Each structure stands twice: as structure tokens, then as C-alpha cells.
Amino acid sequence: MTTLTLNLPLQTASRDAGAWAAAVHLLTLWYARARQRSQLAALSDRQLADIGVTREQADREAAKPFWRS
């Protein structure tokens, strides 16, 4: 008698979990970028000068889409 064991469902579940984790990580990263760029755009010129950033640099960074680093 021969015994055959298939681990395909378990491997597929593991691969799917990894894909979900990667998707959640990417969405979290995108959300953080959008929030940080919004906060940067809201800083006053004086606050920007305190951190060594010009208004032009801040505006350019804030104008980037969330998916672009």
C-alpha cells in the first residue's frame, strides 16, 4: 500500500497569507506617506525653516502621489 500526502492547500494558504501581509504593508506605507505629506504641506514657512526645508521643497514633496517614494 502506498500513502500519498499532499500539502498543497497548506502551502497555498501560506502563500495567500504572505500576499495579504504584503498588501496590508503596502497600504499602510501609502497611508503614512499621504499623511506625512499632508502634514508637511501644513507647516508654516518658519517651521519649515526650523527643519531646513524650503517652501518649494515642501510643496514639491507634498505634490507627489502617495505611491511614489
Any domain includes 46 = yes
Q: How far is CA 3 from CA 6, 32, 59, in A?
A: 10, 51, 65
Domain total in the chain: 1
**What pLDDT shows up at residue 16?**
81
Q: Is residue 32 part of a domain?
A: yes
The span from the CA of 64 to the CA of 47, in Å, is: 21
CA-to-CA dists, residue 68 to 5, 34, 39, 65, angstroms: 45, 10, 17, 6
Q: Please tell me the predicted confidence (pLDDT) of residue 49.
A: 98
Confidence of residue 3 (pLDDT cuts 50, 70, 90): confident
Q: Is residue 30 part of a domain?
A: yes
In a domain, 18, yes or no: no
- Quick one: pLDDT at residue 5? 64
Answer whether residue 40 is part of any domain: yes
Q: Find the domain containing 38 and state its range.
A: 23-62
**Residue 6 placed within a domain:** no
**pLDDT single digits (tens) 13-63:** 677 888 999 999 999 999 999 999 999 999 999 999 999 999 999 999 999
